[in-house]
Amino acid sequence: MENTLYAARWGESRLRGVKPFFYAAVILLIAEFIGSFTFKIGPGKVVLLPMIWALLMGALLGLASDRWGGVARLDVKSQFLAAAILQPALLLFVAKLGLMVGGALPKLAAAGWALAFQELGHFVGTIMLGLPLALVLGIKREAIGATFSVGREPSLAIIGEKYGMNSAEGRGVLAEYLTGTVFGAVFIAIFAGFVASLHIFHPLALAMGSGVGSGSMMAAASGAIAAQQTPEMAKTVLTFAAASNLITTTVGTYFTLFISLPMAIWGYRLLEPVIGRKSKASEASSVIEESRPKLGDVETAAPELSYGGRLLAWGITALFALVCDWITHGTSPIVALPGMLIMVLATVVGDAFATASGRKIPAVCWVSIAAMFLTSPLCPWASQISAYSAQNDFLGVTTPMLTFAGLSIAKDIPAFRKLGWRIVLVSFVANAGTFLGATIVAQLFHV
């Protein structure tokens, strides 16, 4: 009996491990065959790319599967596994960014002031637009956590260390994180594409504005902008967006801690007595605490992938990216394979350095450095590596990453739904603020 029970559990575990990859493959194929869709809104236009379809379909699948029974159901454990797979997939995406940035270091150095000062716009923009709106809507100290940045992983760590995640500020940053995870990439892609279509800003200023510190949001925004440019300018847009995002996720973390968070605290103390209001949101933020026992349950906690699991995730994500390039651009997998292997190599090397350093320096930084070196003037084989890497489309890597992100979203919907429309609106305005703020600053220094 015990052997039978063990075998059943082992089989269930294996099936759960396969489901995220299986559903990701199906969603990926559907999204790529749907392709891009463009429609006009007034004087501008919106471009919906396959990566957006993949993200939305993954989220809808997770929500719909709650009504299913049997083995086909994408249960909460499978959604947490998809979230765990997303992390190594993100590293592969970071490697692609590094390969693009390395070859353009001389060009980026020439635009150094614009790249340096646009960082100010990224964080000030969220506070100037998001914080006053949050206070008018009746959101209290949660507004600090929700608007001092776009609320990605470094922001969670900063608020958690300073205030604790059980604090009002902790609830605010978590709400922003959930909102950005669910809708961030979709919103910023639509918004950035619309702003780009107005031809108010230089494409490179828009590219620098795209580096908001979130890989998926940067990919969505820069992809929507690049889709409206010439092939040569599109490549430059993606390069500058990658560089901006790299700065935001590294130097920007310290900028957030020492400048934008104190600014948000000061702004709250100054504005709350003047424009602060009371509403259901003033007390409703505690609903996140009610959801924590379920999310923190041992059975549904996000698993930590073993090294073999990370290798599998890198391999399958790379395979998916080759398929995307094949369907979208007709690039033969044989032609694209060398560049993909270089991408995986940079990821493996960077991850190894992160492990050797005891993870004190994040793997994202090590992977970026390894990839940038391979195409930088310091590497003797840079030109050949760049030629191989050019066969791999940036969006080909982005779409699989966002597919896994979509599959992991549904587990957060119940907590997110209780937060109401106010936090969604504040998040959208904060995200728009960081994009516009950085774009305006970059425009001032670029032109």
Task: Output the six-digit token pair for 115.
Answer: 């790249």
Q: What is the pLDDT of residues 237-280, one digit of tens each?
A: 988 888 788 777 656 666 777 788 889 999 999 998 988 877 66
The pLDDT of 286-297, averaged and rounded, is 47
pLDDT score at 126: 85
Higher pLDDT among residues 202 and 305, named by residue: 202
Residues in CB range of 51: below 8 A, 6 or more apart:
31, 185, 189, 219, 220, 223, 395, 398, 399, 402
In a domain, residue 255? The reply is: yes
pLDDT score at 417: 65
In a domain, residue 16? The reply is: no
Q: What is the pLDDT of residues 398-436, one digit of tens each?
A: 889 889 888 887 776 665 566 678 878 888 898 898 899
The pLDDT of 187-192, averaged and rounded, is 89
In a domain, residue 148? The reply is: yes
What percentage of residues in the chain have a pLDDT greater than 90? 23
Say yes or no to pLDDT of 295 above 70: no
In a domain, residue 1? The reply is: no
In a domain, residue 6? The reply is: no
Which ranges constitute the DSSP H helices of 330-412? 333-356, 363-375, 382-389, 394-407
- Which range is least confidently modeled, 208-212, 218-222, 265-269, 303-307? 303-307
Number of domain units in the chain: 1
In a domain, residue 150? The reply is: yes
What is residue 45's three-state secondary structure? strand
In a domain, residue 439? The reply is: yes
Nearest to 191, CA basis, from 154, 155, 132, 150: 150
Which ranges constitute the DSSP H helices of 104-167? 105-110, 112-136, 142-147, 153-162
In a domain, residue 15? The reply is: no
- Residue 396 and residue 318: Cα distance in Å, rounded? 9
Say yes or no to pLDDT of 348 above 90: yes
Q: The domain containing residue 400 runs over which residues?
A: 21-67+76-446
- Indicate the pTM of the whole model: 0.69
What percentage of residues in the chain have a pLDDT greater than 70? 79
Q: Which residue has the tokens 């960082």?
A: 119
